[in-house]
Structure 1
Amino acid sequence: MSTVLAIAAAVLAVSLLIILHEAGHYFAARRSGMRVERFSVGFGPVVASFRRGETEFAISALPLGGYVRIAGMSPGDDVAPDDPTAYANQAAWRRFLVIVAGPAANYVTAVIVAAALLATIGLRAPDPAPRVGALMPGMPAAVAGLEPGDRILSVAGAPVDSFRALVAELQRHPGEPIVLELERGGERRSLPITPRDDGGVGRVGFAQAQVAVRRGPAGALVEGLRRTNAAAGAQLAAFGSMFSGKQRAELSGPVGIAQELVRGARQGAEPFLALVWTISIVLAILNLLPLPALDGGRLVFLAWEMITRRRVNEKVESYVHLAGFVALLVLIIAVTVFGDLARLLGR
């Protein structure tokens, strides 16, 4: 795929994920009898719009997100206290469902994308066989001449029949010159290599190979649900490790995400759609985090209201979300400038 088409595909994919997220809020609000005043893709001045019923559907100048404006949702909205279509006049559980519907839409999208891949071109999964995956530049595997797809038969004379056994054997020889017996293109070869000594553990620097997994229509949906749940669990664990300080935070901003999407689009349909699947999962998890300005932050206030039967002061909640939004904006700018752009210019 050309660079121009790859960029167009990346922009279209992000826009679609945003639209689906906001559509979750929109349909839940409409189902609850709330009045939706605007459904916007993007922020800032409206570039184009049309009206259907009580809702204005708009495309705005800054395509960095989107929003659904529900009557009575923002403090200061001029709505009558007895207006049943206003967000503020609805029961807390209804408002809770409207907010949670956005992340839920991203989750359902992820399941559908995974199932579609499994039923057609396949969705990658770790290969349990002792095969070489992506190589790390400058590490012993790349220096020694290993290639992705090589099947390792033995390490220093010890046969290996799985990737786990392969890793275990390599780790036993830190800094020690050894010989790998491998199969490449139907031919057996011997390759000398010296695993790097990483604190007494041998490291050679290659990832686990991936294989495309396919299922029938029914099996694809079940497997898509299972794979999405597993990926969501891994994302939650990663967030937990990051917040607890056990794992270094490696964040990507809009530029970094766009780069990965463009790279995936140029590699082919499966890598691109697999990345869209992952981003959709991350959007669902990220928006459910109990942080101000995110859907999860609003859910915390609504949960408090449902438990205590007392509504939090609207202005206080508004200030909390505003502070969270400013902090989130600063974080995005910092990650973009010192992370995405620094890596880009460093190349």
Structure 2
Amino acid sequence: MTTLMFILGIVVFAVGLLVSIAWHELGHLSTAKLFGIRVPQYMVGFGPTIWSRRKGETEYGIKAVPLGGYIRMIGMFPPDDQGRVSARSTSPWRGMIEDARSAAFEELQPGDETRMFYTRTPWKRVIVMFAGPFMNLVLAVALFLTVLMGFGIQKETTVVESVSPCVIAQSQHRDSCKKTDPSSPAAQAGMKAGDKIVSFDGKPTKDWNTLSDLIRDSAGKNVAFVVDRDGRAVTLHARIATNQVAKKDAGGNYVDGYVKAGFLGFSPATGVVKQDFGESVTWMTDRVGDAVDSLVALPGKIPALWDAAFGDGPREPDSPMGIVGAARVTGEIATLDIPASQQLAMFVFVLAGFNLSLFLFNMLPLLPLDGGHIAGALWESLRRNLARVLRRPDPGPFDVAKLMPVAYVVAGIFVCFTVLVLIADVVNPVKIS
């Protein structure tokens, strides 16, 4: 049964992956057709075609390897200075450029002269190329909101999990009390496990962050607080101690370091808590920031990833993970002994995170990524407007094809990195259980 559930989790992720890819390419397709660009193909996947159907001027299909997708637009690159699109040079670098240019004019038909991608104004090309990653961003936001507002997430609550008998500086990393340790304010006040703190010093405490901040700001004060105990409101009194506690950032997240602050002396219970729209937006903003930081830090994680794949190094929880690794994680989720609703929420979270990563990755200003084409269109717009201001001749379209040698190098680096991640995901995968 466990094996069957593991396979089911992988299948669910594969379906979600295909939908995400198709949704991304739909953004490119719809905007390209909106601006009159001819699109001969819309494909989900790579490799051999397993199903396709032509509708109008576009062939729609699914290919065997669900590791990406593409649409083919006529005239992605402009012709060269002599108007040629298929001349072949003996230079390998020039050959790459001319191959790319020639491929951009494949299937050119009468009337396509005005329907090529490069003939569109830069802002239209930016929209076409941005539309794909933007669709992934939209899907990520929708999925995150579904989980945050519909299912809820595991968070610390205002319910008491346990009461500390004494005051211990958190930097000491010990659980047992010494005879010289003073009793905790919570223990002296008579707080019990299961109490739910509903107000503190006359202020309502709807969430843990609010309560935590109130306690930290009350060092040395005599405070009354109300707890819900078995349906009864009980008022307790305590003199808040000053203690060394874990440092928090502006968003309420624990960070490295310690500060002197108020200390009551209890551990909050965790539970599944639904978020309102404002809390959800704040949470997603934090996650986008975390994702950007992870993307920037990616090169620095390669040595540890190599050691995890080919050496005896551990696989860190925040290690880069590919499609195979994500599929294994969803397989693990399906085998966890948790409610089905939480399994579904975790599935959606993984898929949402995958779409957010697709958005950020594709926005990198490097060919062959969408961001590279966007950067090329913006550069063309800048230099054309600059020429107009300086009353110089129009420099014409920016020839993105000239950057193809760089694109091949970038693509080669991506392929090597993908293979490294794949090997690590197989031999030393990230595990959640």
Q: What TM-score do the two structures reach when normalised by structure 1? A: 0.72
**Which residue of structure 2 lines up, in the alignment, with residue 277 of structure 1?**
352
Partner deviation per Cα, 1:110-157 (whole Å, 9 max, x = no partner): 12112333453x2315325587xxxxxxxxxxxxxxxxxxx2322x61
Name which of 37, 58, 61 aligns with 1:55.
58
Q: Is 2:241 the counterpart of 1:213?
A: no
Match for 1:18: what amino acid? I
**Which residue of structure 1 lines up, in the alignment, with residue 407 of structure 2?**
321
Correspondence 1:154-233 to 2 at 5 A: 154=164, 157-158=166-167, 171-174=170-173, 177-178=176-177, 209=270, 211-215=272-276, 219=277, 224-233=280-289
Contact 2:149 2:274 in 1 (8 A): no
**Which residue of structure 2 lines up, in the alignment, with residue 87 of structure 1?**
117
Q: Distance in 1 between matches of 2:291 and 2:13?
A: 22
Q: Is 2:162 the counterpart of 1:152?
A: yes
Secondary structure at the aligned position of 2:368 is classed as coil
Q: Is 2:314 the counterpart of 1:250?
A: no
Match for 2:414: what amino acid? L
Q: What TM-score do the two structures reach when normalised by structure 2? A: 0.59
Match for 2:59: what amino acid? E
Q: Is 2:35 the counterpart of 1:25?
A: no
Contact 1:18 1:65 in 2 (8 A): yes
Match for 1:239: what amino acid? L
Are residues 52 and 44 of structure 1, via their aligned partners in 2, closer, same or farther at CA, if it must alter by over 3 Å? same
Q: Is 2:68 the counterpart of 1:65?
A: yes
**Which residue of structure 1 lines up, in the alignment, with residue 223 of structure 2?**
none
Partner deviation per Cα, 1:208-259 (whole Å, 9 max, x = no partner): 94533154xxx4xx655444333212211332344578x9772112211111
Secondary structure at the aligned position of 2:288 is classed as helix
Q: Is 2:28 the counterpart of 1:12?
A: no
Q: Distance in 2 between matches of 1:65 and 1:302?
A: 24
Match for 1:263: what amino acid? E
Match for 2:47: what amino acid? G
Task: Please state how far the C-alpha of 1:108 moved relative to its aligned partner.
Answer: 0.7
Q: Is 2:374 the counterpart of 1:299?
A: yes
Task: Please state how far the C-alpha of 1:106 moved relative to its aligned partner.
Answer: 0.7
Q: Distance in 1 between matches of 2:377 and 2:271?
A: 43
How many residues end up aligned between the 2 structures? 293
Match for 1:343: what amino acid? N
Secondary structure at the aligned position of 2:273 is classed as strand
Contact 1:13 1:276 in 2 (8 A): yes
Q: Distance in 2 between matches of 1:244 and 1:290?
A: 20
Q: Is 2:342 the counterpart of 1:343?
A: no
Larger radius of gyration: 2
Secondary structure at the aligned position of 1:62 is classed as strand
Name which of 230, 236, 239 aligns with 2:292.
236
**Which residue of structure 2 lines up, in the alignment, with residue 166 of structure 1?**
none
Task: Please state how far the C-alpha of 1:331 moved relative to its aligned partner.
Answer: 0.8
Match for 2:319: what amino acid? E
**Which residue of structure 1 lines up, in the alignment, with residue 340 of structure 2?**
none
Are residues 172 and 130 of structure 1, via their aligned partners in 2, closer, same or farther at CA, if it must alter by over 3 Å? farther
Q: Distance in 2 between matches of 1:22 and 1:83?
A: 24
Identity of counterpart residues, as a percentage? 25
Are residues 253 and 117 of structure 1, via their aligned partners in 2, closer, same or farther at CA, if it must alter by over 3 Å? closer
Task: Please state how far the C-alpha of 1:344 moved relative to its aligned partner.
Answer: 4.2
Match for 2:131: what amino acid? A
**Which residue of structure 1 lines up, in the alignment, with residue 314 of structure 2?**
none
Task: Please state how far the C-alpha of 1:9 moved relative to its aligned partner.
Answer: 0.5
Partner deviation per Cα, 1:54-90 (whole Å, 9 max, x = no partner): 1100111211111111111252133479722211211
Name which of 107, 129, 142 aligns with 1:99.
129
Correspondence 1:103-122 to 2 at 5 A: 103-120=133-150, 122=151
**Which residue of structure 1 lines up, in the alignment, with residue 202 of structure 2?**
none
Task: Please state how far the C-alpha of 1:294 moved relative to its aligned partner.
Answer: 1.8
Task: Please state how far the C-alpha of 1:343 moved relative to its aligned partner.
Answer: 0.7
Task: Please state how far the C-alpha of 1:185 moved relative to its aligned partner.
Answer: 7.3
Q: Distance in 1 between matches of 2:26 and 2:101?
A: 22
Task: Please state how far the C-alpha of 1:298 moved relative to its aligned partner.
Answer: 2.2
Are residues 157 and 241 of structure 1, via their aligned partners in 2, closer, same or farther at CA, if it must alter by over 3 Å? same
Task: Between 280-289 and 122-131, report the one with greater CA deviation.
Answer: 122-131
**Which residue of structure 2 lines up, in the alignment, with residue 75 of structure 1?**
101
Secondary structure at the aligned position of 1:60 is classed as strand
Are residues 341 and 305 of structure 1, via their aligned partners in 2, closer, same or farther at CA, if it must alter by over 3 Å? same
Q: Distance in 1 between matches of 2:430 and 2:344?
A: 28
Q: Distance in 1 between matches of 2:34 and 2:65?
A: 29
**Which residue of structure 2 lines up, in the alignment, with residue 126 of structure 1?**
155
Contact 1:100 1:299 in 2 (8 A): yes
Task: Between 29-38 and 306-315, report the one with greater CA deviation.
Answer: 306-315
Contact 2:40 2:58 in 1 (8 A): yes
Secondary structure at the aligned position of 1:51 is classed as strand
Q: Distance in 2 between matches of 1:333 and 1:322?
A: 16
Q: Is 2:49 the counterpart of 1:46?
A: yes
Are residues 320 and 210 of structure 1, via their aligned partners in 2, closer, same or farther at CA, if it must alter by over 3 Å? farther
Secondary structure at the aligned position of 1:64 is classed as strand
**Which residue of structure 1 lines up, in the alignment, with residue 329 of structure 2?**
260
Contact 2:376 2:400 in 1 (8 A): no
